[in-house]
Structure 1
Amino acid sequence: MSTTFEEITRPDNGPLVELNNNMQEVFSQYRKMREYASYLEYELKQKDEHILKVENENSFLRDKHTTFDSNGKSVEPIIT
């Protein structure tokens, strides 16, 4: 009884390594975009809070320097 063995070759890992490297690059870019989006959301929130603060200060100053007539309409101050 004679048994012959065919030579078995291991598959090349090159395509898998290349695919893995490409996926790592995709995930890296995705993480960078998420971080940038978070940064932009933070900046937008800071700007919105600053605008609200300025609007409140403006409203306070406007009310402080505005007089009203008997009908409740604002009257321009007379500067002499």
Structure 2
Amino acid sequence: LAVAFRAEDFVERIAPRPLLLIHGIDDTMVRFVEAESLFARAGEPKKLFPIPDINHADVYEARNADVFRTVAAETIAWFNAYL
């Protein structure tokens, strides 16, 4: 199923609904270039929030509490602006 579905083929249809992409630059499960590709095809409003030195789910680990707070603040700000 994952091979048959490509988000890049559908993301343009989301606009004008807001799209926030939060992605770890060091993600080994879903490469950061995939987020960049999705972002490039998305319509406005859109934002790509790259997280340096973070793998796929590292943001939720206790050792990354500061990163989690940053991501949460970014998400809340986005929601406040667009919801």
Under a length normalisation based on structure 2, what TM-score does the superposition of the two structures give?
Answer: 0.24
Larger radius of gyration: 1
Name the structure with the higher helix share: 1
